[in-house]
Structure 1
């Protein structure tokens, strides 16, 4: 449907926030806190009141579950043997923050200095650090680097003994041990922080929105799929058109409409609203509200390759393989919020594949369990029957750029999602360098002492060409899609200003991972929440 002027009898709020994900829940809480403004939070999915969204290891049960997950797929990827890559996106209150693996990583300091250098004053590392600290109730307490009184609990669990072997292997190669990836430096090997509290997921939905929903000035509309933003004759956003189970309705906003629908759905809503590349909109017979060719472009993601290793000593597989052992772990979790199911904690590292590089360029995940996730409904985590572990390798700052385009004005029509993985020689070289780095780690005394055999890719895969071929066939998204409503100067390619206002219209902002100018070096849930905290200050102080 194409946008039109809203009727005078449309239900009216001061701010409409579209999307109750990691950013939207924070926006709703912050905007409603004063009690002065009336806020509507619109979410396309449901309430997400599920045991599996609260249990940390429950994310495996949500991986392909249509109730909680939009289950998007990319277009065939030419550099990945024309595979369609699965890109899960959270559906319901909490968004992707309700179904992710809870790894809490900010990124490197220079990631944000790059944002500032790209024409975004106020977005350098020292500018955004106070907002990261505001989020955090950190296990180490308040400090120069961390907040100790924030809403999101950041925890650190016990280290599995075989994870210690990985950290020792990194040290054996000359890489430092890092006790805190979110502290002064990110480089080195250590244990990832996760956002849990008393053994349960602590997302922005639980830490921000749950309390805010008691306020009389905040309404939450679930099962509300936003078709488009409505504009008046001056190109000011005045509301949204929403499809609900009860039918279609229009809702009015006095001050602003704020899109927090994520890197896939925010550009889709803009395009359906007539904001985007005019040639695309005209082809789809959507009236052009504003020619803004950057909408949907600049799509970025981390591509992750997997190494599977059989161990010669017990790993988490031995605690979880078989119905009886899983039942015992489940009972331990129900009674005490302890055990394997109470955490997704992994060891990891941010390393330089060459000492000549100025910054770490490879992120590694070390999982003391070997498993696969089946595309069944509900999804099933298949624990391997042997003692095993996995090493995931992900180049930190890919240079490939893709796009998101709607295929029809119909709100139900699937969009074309094309991350354009491995399109650049830089990214292909980084993939090989990351694989080589894993191989070096597996040859250290620390990991050889706990390894029986490398199962995949296996010793027959030796050359750079063979490693690249393996990576093409055995890699996938690590689910860090961002950049499709890029923040930057009004140069024709950026979509929003440093204040996150959409160029060329009034009363419309985007506040989510789509505004990232560049992908940060690591998991993006923490920086997405930071963007929301900073945006709230811009709007209401």
Structure 2
């Protein structure tokens, strides 16, 4: 077993991990090792925005996890694509730039997470960002993460936006600005029609830094802990097992599934569960792998009267040839986007203080979306998808095996409350109200899913059970806090273990109202500052 020594080891090169490694290595003072179980991000479809569907079920760059059967969803299995490539899930996600609601972070502070209120995290969002709209009180320029508006939009996008306004939803020019509620156009992590992943942002220009070692196809299998202190990491490579030492700290950034799995494999987790798998207990930590939660969504789909949707690419060779030419010669057209242009943040109940629904308006509609791929409707169609942002259900991530290459056991426990159902039913009603507005009438032929006859509460609940899916924003499995089952403190230090931190979406005490990639990158930025301060 070879061994080299570094100042810092970052286990996981996803949204947060790339940010941490990039920042820790930028002044040249420290030696940094960044471990990634997958390959480098050379697969061409990663970088073409509409290539999302090519990576959705590609084992070359995707872990392709499955949940256990979900009791409230007719025992269906929830497919969980996660990035297994440099950049992690930021290399295969939908590229929407959304931070969440300011009150989400203030709530973290109220739960004992000092330094994580909105005023404290906003500087890290701004520092990360290079926003094409320019700098202001809420946005930054000059940062590594490119954030831009869509350079191409179909006529359908404007119609969706205007229909939402006609339905009584106020226009909002910036979901990440002064307020979140309303309808507007999404910004994206796309630059000049190319995906701008965390790897591209933080590693793209620095991979030749002498003090930064990026090891791909290097699967972290165990944190080496001696006398209550993390001193290194063992990882598996094609050549065998390697051990690397850490003089200062180990930072785990394996994501909501990978981080708790690595902690448990290292003896940190629920004691009885670890003993069941023959793992020596270093510290009994019942919170490791607990508190898993995710946004949940369904969708209402419509047959379109005009050939202006992404579905037309799948059914028409002429449309595909034209789209390829637009992208090749002008970096525009459908391939320059991911098909999601417009969204609305709304409340399912006017008594709520902030939005609990995100209505995604897609320029496409699918028949199915699972580990076998994304199957589009065989005709021109589009969809409106209500996403429940504040779910009550909580689940777990556990080991299926002590084998570090085995997939973890994932249980969500979706739809465990009346509120979870009622919010989605109201979201479907809002989607139908938007589709009835004059701006969308030239495009709507008929509702194809769930169908115009599905109107009663019982029928809508049955439809949600049959078709609803994870929105692929899992968080919470190494949650931050001071509760007895919290895993990390507000400095992201693992309770009871020196020189060990966790930094990714798994540390979120509660899920934010919106997409989770930008918050994960913010977490990486903030973690890097805390690590550097401790190393002074």
Same fold (TM over 0.5): yes
Query: 2:37·2:218 contact (CA, 8 Å) conserved in 1?
Result: yes
1:374 Cα deviation from its structure 2 partner:
6.5
Q: For 1:322, which of 303, 313, 316 is the aligned residue? A: 316
C-alpha separation in 1, matches of 2:326 and 2:369 = 25
1:77 alignment counterpart: 70
1:311 Cα deviation from its structure 2 partner:
2.0
Q: Any residues of structure 2 matched to 1:43-58 within 5 Å, and which? A: 43-58=36-51
1:3 alignment counterpart: none
Q: Any residues of structure 2 matched to 1:239-254 within 5 Å, and which? A: 239-254=232-247
1:471 Cα deviation from its structure 2 partner:
1.1
2:518 alignment counterpart: 526
C-alpha separation in 2, matches of 1:383 and 1:417 = 27
2:294 alignment counterpart: 301
2:476 alignment counterpart: 483
1:355 Cα deviation from its structure 2 partner:
2.4
Mapped pair 1:538 → 2:533: no
Query: 1:315·1:389 contact (CA, 8 Å) conserved in 2?
Result: no
2:191 alignment counterpart: 197
Mapped pair 1:66 → 2:59: yes
Q: For 1:351, which of 336, 346, 355 is the aligned residue? A: 346
- Secondary structure (helix, strand or coil) at the match of 1:83 reads coil
Query: 2:14·2:253 contact (CA, 8 Å) conserved in 1?
Result: yes
Query: 1:368·1:390 contact (CA, 8 Å) conserved in 2?
Result: yes
Q: Structure 1 pair 65/282, CA: closer, same or farther in 2 (3 Å)? A: same
1:28 alignment counterpart: 21
1:450 Cα deviation from its structure 2 partner:
2.8
Q: Structure 1 pair 443/514, CA: closer, same or farther in 2 (3 Å)? A: same
Q: Structure 1 pair 318/417, CA: closer, same or farther in 2 (3 Å)? A: closer
Mapped pair 1:503 → 2:474: no
Query: 2:109·2:117 contact (CA, 8 Å) conserved in 1?
Result: yes
Query: 1:315·1:369 contact (CA, 8 Å) conserved in 2?
Result: no
Flag structure 1 segments of 5+ consecutive residues without an equivalent: 1-6
Query: 2:301·2:381 contact (CA, 8 Å) conserved in 1?
Result: yes
C-alpha separation in 1, matches of 2:370 and 2:306 = 30
- Secondary structure (helix, strand or coil) at the match of 1:129 reads helix
Query: 1:317·1:386 contact (CA, 8 Å) conserved in 2?
Result: no
Mapped pair 1:362 → 2:354: no
Deviations 1:267-288 (A, max 9, x none): 0000011101111112112111
Q: TM-score, normalised by structure 1?
A: 0.95
1:443 Cα deviation from its structure 2 partner:
2.8
1:369 Cα deviation from its structure 2 partner:
2.1
Flag structure 2 segments of 5+ consecutive residues without an equivalent: none
Superposed CA RMSD in Å reads: 1.6
2:265 alignment counterpart: 272
C-alpha separation in 2, matches of 1:440 and 1:310 = 16
Query: 1:274·1:286 contact (CA, 8 Å) conserved in 2?
Result: yes
Mapped pair 1:336 → 2:330: yes
Q: For 1:447, which of 431, 440, 443 is the aligned residue? A: 440
1:292 Cα deviation from its structure 2 partner:
0.9
1:162 alignment counterpart: 156
1:382 Cα deviation from its structure 2 partner:
4.5
Query: 1:138·1:155 contact (CA, 8 Å) conserved in 2?
Result: yes
2:92 alignment counterpart: 99
Q: Any residues of structure 2 matched to 1:140-219 within 5 Å, and which? A: 140-157=133-150, 158-219=152-213
1:383 Cα deviation from its structure 2 partner:
4.2
Deviations 1:53-111 (A, max 9, x none): 11001110011100000000000000000001101000010100000110110001111
Query: 1:276·1:290 contact (CA, 8 Å) conserved in 2?
Result: yes
1:135 Cα deviation from its structure 2 partner:
1.2
Range moving further from structure 2, 387-396 or 253-262: 387-396
Query: 2:298·2:467 contact (CA, 8 Å) conserved in 1?
Result: yes
C-alpha separation in 2, matches of 1:376 and 1:167 = 31
